[in-house]
Amino acid sequence: MKKNSKFNSLIGKILIASPNLKDSKFFERSVIYIFMHNENGAFGVILNQKIDEVGNNQLSTIFNQIYNKKVLLNPKVMKNKSIPVMLGGPVNTQFYMALSTSKINKCLTLYLNIKVFIDDYLEKDNISNCFLIKGMSAWEAGQIEEEIQCNEWFVKDPDVKTIFSKQPEKKWSEHVKELGLTKGLFIASYTGNA
């Protein structure tokens, strides 16, 4: 990345892996929400790698383990609910976060502090859609910009309906179809200028 170029932050954007991105255990066919991006690098979470679904008892156990104390769950809020758990990426895979929308303003919120999520979801019942995330994805300074320039990623505005789809395994193919991307469009795995 050129030092004098204008920096365009990707915070709040969605990255869709190119159909040709095949050399990565974590990122092939992935959809990533970017929550931090500046000149020093970027952090995001994969939205379509479901690793679990937790119900009332499991959720209580997870929160009790995180805080080494008993967390009381509001029975009215937790009645017959379960929350999907996504693998956010290969960095800090024991760290829990939550992505949600509010019942009040429908805003997309990433909770890095799970205690605040517990308060909003389990005690106040302010959350309409959510899932837990274990781990995150990280890029060094200039790395994500270079990968985008090489057509490894395509950038989109977030679509709340797709983010919280009940079929996370279809998120990537839905985005690829929406963008009009097919394998036939990618004859070479590199780009250049004539």
Q: Per-residue pLDDT tens for 22-35?
A: 767 789 999 999 99
Distances 138 to 20, 23, 42 between C-alpha atoms, Å: 20, 17, 6
The CATH number linked to 96 is 3.40.1740.10
Domain count, the chain: 1
Q: How far apart are CA 131 and CA 98, in angstroms?
A: 6
Question: Residue 153: inside a domain, yes or no?
Answer: yes
Question: Residue 121: inside a domain, yes or no?
Answer: yes
The residue segments making up the domain with residue 103 are 7-194
Each as own residue / partner, the long-range contacts of residues 66-70 (CB below 8 Å, 24 or more positions apart, any chain) are 66/96, 66/114, 67/115
Which token pair is 175? 């985005």
Q: How far apart are CA 42 and CA 100, in angstroms?
A: 20
- pTM, two decimals, is 0.81
Question: Residue 165: inside a domain, yes or no?
Answer: yes
Say which DSSP state 184 is in.
Answer: G
Question: Residue 1: inside a domain, yes or no?
Answer: no
Residue 56 has pLDDT above 70, yes or no: no
Type and span of the H or E element at 102: strand 91-102
Question: Residue 2: inside a domain, yes or no?
Answer: no
Q: Per-residue pLDDT tens for 110-140?
A: 998 877 887 777 666 677 888 999 999 999 9
Question: Residue 123: inside a domain, yes or no?
Answer: yes
Q: Per-residue pLDDT tens for 59-113?
A: 767 777 776 666 565 555 555 577 899 999 999 998 889 998 887 777 888 998 8
Assess contact for 91 and 80: CB atoms under 8 A. Answer: no
Question: Residue 64: inside a domain, yes or no?
Answer: yes
Assess contact for 76 and 123: CB atoms under 8 A. Answer: no
